[in-house]
Amino acid sequence: MSAASTTPSRTRIKICGLTREQDVDAAVDAGADAVGFVMYAHSPRCVSPQRAAELARRLPPFVTPVLLFVNESPERIAQACTQLPHATLQFHGDESPAQCDAATSGGLRPYLRAARIPLQSTEPFDLLKFAAQYPHAQALLLDAHVEGYGGGGKAFDWSRLPPNVNARLVLSGGLTPANVTDGIVQVRPRCKSLAVDVSSGVEVSDGDGTRKGIKDPEKIHRFVAAVRAADKLPA
């Protein structure tokens, strides 16, 4: 028996890497459950805690702001949390369980822990062991392991995930309006509950790729519609 219920549940949606007011509004209008603000200075989508707080003030009740950190100091994490006291934290670097717990008062503040899944099948990754190491995480966010940090807009092979993970998962990495339905169908039966997280897959495209941090409202709406279509499919 899988870890998932036989009745499809509502897949939660996070739109990440927001930098502009109109993109926050588009995510909310489309029905996103959470929006992500990148605190990593080396990311082209990085915003300051003060800017994240300005953008988060546009959020209605029950839409969650998420602050993404990569190997950040406890002091800077605490400073950002002062600006957004009700935010969920996302640790996307090499943070140990002890570091995550210390930054969240032993897990009292909700946090997501990113698991970097290798793109090549020859590189093993023990997701069950990883989940056991982070018992206080609200969910594990599954992203592709590429050079640097972040998924680089690449999707890993979802079929390589264990068939039964006793954890809440957030599927990320290379998701688009075109493939998110298939991702949900493949991963939802393997876990306690599933959410999805998208960034580059809903950004404005030009001849050189996507404009990092600049979202396309039409793509956001198509992404959300594809997730809702997946929710109507039988488990």
Query: Residues 23, 143, 197, 216: which is the catalytic one?
Result: 143
For the question of residue 16 being annotated catalytic, the response is yes
CB-based contacts of 22: which residues, under 8 Å, 6+ apart?
Answer: 217
In contact, 150 and 143? CB cutoff 8 Å: yes
Phi, psi dihedral angles at 15 (to 5 degrees): -105, 120
Q: Within 10 Å of residue 159's Cβ, how many Cβ atoms?
A: 9
Q: Which of 16, 46, 100, 191 is catalytic?
A: 16
Contact predicate 140/168, CB 8 Å: yes
For residue 65, what are the β-bridge partners?
A: 35
Quickly tell me which residue has 């050079």 as its tokens.
147
| Largest Cα–Cα separation, the chain | 47
Mode of pairing for the β-strands spanning 191-198 and 209-215: unpaired
**Among 178, 173, 170, 181, CA closest to 157:** 173
Does the annotation mark 100 as catalytic?
A: no
Closest by CA position to 158, among listed 63, 65, 230, 68: 230
Amino acid at 2: S
Instruction: Just list the catalytic residues.
Output: 16, 143
